[in-house]
Structure 1
């Protein structure tokens, strides 16, 4: 399999490249500089991307650049997108047509999508997704920018009838390690990817592995003028992460947990690249359509 990889130098992209090469696949790295295998600037004209996509089996966008016209540029070549922005993924879903487009191939969405789909039992279910990210891990610029964009903004098309502001309201709950934490309401997009299918209500919440850092994040949510301080925040806490999906109606829950979220995200994205090229897969799809709980284990997570 030949993969065209956008963002190969990033924390996630480097893992995607390593995993695909380890599995015996060919990877073409794409970037703005001539030390990449292919010179492609996804901020500019996408004609070079269109030309390269024709010669590859799949395109993986790990660059953090969100452009819905990437779908048109990749043509009939399947596209794997790791973005966690609900409005953008919804736009991709709307313009994708019959071409395979994998929406959200990371932790949340991605692993979270698999957990929610595995837990869901009937239309109209009510599911909470509790996500802990490792604040002690060095994250790339795209991840920091995505978190900063939560500050001062509303959840995109929440299942509730009223506006919901990111990082303001919270719930307290215990994670897979038995510790009770405060989880802040946050705009992860599983309610867009799965909730639209049958009316299931999905609410996502975020905490960090450092309690003081979570408190600081909530302060930013209440005082958006301080959002510029996010990029300068110290890396306190561990690199541990977990995701808990809990069905309010049945009381049942599933979880996945591990360390080094960039590594797990890269492994899941590499898996998505190999699965999205399978015959018979068409149109917009999610990790829940191509991956299982066993696949999360194979990517280094512990599930339960």
Structure 2
């Protein structure tokens, strides 16, 4: 398999590219600046960026987009070459889905959240009308890339994209107590897009919630949510604690819960994205799909560092 990785120097793209190479695939790493792992200079913000992607995609079996540039026109630029996108921005993913080329394949949500979370939600025994809560717990001992920090800071004061309950829902301003491996935790409502990716298709209401590190750090996020002018503090939060992560999904009606955990959010996201790339290469012509359409719980359990339960 020949894979083109956009954002190959990033925290997620570098891990995914290395994993694909280790599995015996040919990888072309593309990035805005030269450096280790970058075989092709591509700046998606430049006037010729998408044209360069179009040329490169035609010579590859699949494209992984792991950069911070969110331009829905990318779906048209890759043509019929399957595109796997690791973004967690629901509005952008909706735009991609609307722009996919006829006969193309687009995998929305490849990584930890969405991606693994999408598979977990889809694995629940749910019926239309059910309400599913997704709990995302991220350790604060890990240094994340600039894009991940900017994404989290951008939640403050922003409204969720197309919330399932309708109306306007502001990130980080409402909370819910949910079960976790270490007991119940208070988590904050956050705009992870599984309500867009899997909730609509299955007729269920999906709400996602975020906790970062311990209760004190999560309370600090809640403060930023109330006072968005403080969002710059997100980048300055100290990296104390550990790098453990956990993602769980629970059906409110039945109480059924499925979860996964591990260490190293960026590494897990990259490894899961690499698995989605392998699955996408074999799914040419499937149209718009999610990780839940290509991967099972058994598949994600075989990803190094991902543990179910």
Aligned residues: 303
- Aligned partner of residue 257 in structure 1, secondary structure: strand
Alignment partner for residue 245 of structure 2, among 238, 241, 245?
A: 241
Q: Is the 8 A contact 1:209 1:241 kept in 2?
A: no
4+ residue runs of structure 1 moved beyond 3 angstroms? none
Residues 103-135 of structure 1: per-residue CA shift (max 9 Å, x gap): 010111100000000004322221010110111
Residues 233-257 of structure 1: per-residue CA shift (max 9 Å, x gap): 1112210111110001111110111
Residues 246-278 of structure 1: per-residue CA shift (max 9 Å, x gap): 001111110111110111111111111111111
5+ residue gaps, structure 1, are none
CA–CA distance in structure 2, aligned partners of residues 120 and 99 of structure 1: 30
Q: Is the 8 A contact 2:81 2:284 kept in 1?
A: no
Matched, 1:224 2:246: no
Matched, 1:145 2:150: yes
CA–CA distance in structure 1, aligned partners of residues 125 and 306 of structure 2: 20
**Number of the residue aligned with 1:115:** 120
CA drift of 1:279 comes to 4.5
CA–CA distance in structure 2, aligned partners of residues 37 and 103 of structure 1: 25
Q: Is the 8 A contact 1:116 1:127 kept in 2?
A: yes
TM-score (norm 1): 0.96
CA drift of 1:301 comes to 1.3
CA–CA distance in structure 2, aligned partners of residues 100 and 133 of structure 1: 31
TM-score (norm 2): 0.95
Matched, 1:261 2:283: no
RMSD between superposed Cα atoms in Å: 1.3
**Number of the residue aligned with 1:197:** 201
Alignment partner for residue 159 of structure 1, among 155, 164, 177?
A: 164
CA drift of 1:33 comes to 3.1
Instruction: Provide closer, same or farther for how the CA distance between residues 133 and 24 of structure 1 changes in structure 2, counting only shifts above 3 A.
Output: same
Q: Is the 8 A contact 2:89 2:193 kept in 1?
A: yes
CA drift of 1:89 comes to 0.6
**Number of the residue aligned with 1:124:** 129
Residues 39-88 of structure 1: per-residue CA shift (max 9 Å, x gap): 11111221111111111111111112111011111111111100000001
CA–CA distance in structure 2, aligned partners of residues 106 and 119 of structure 1: 19
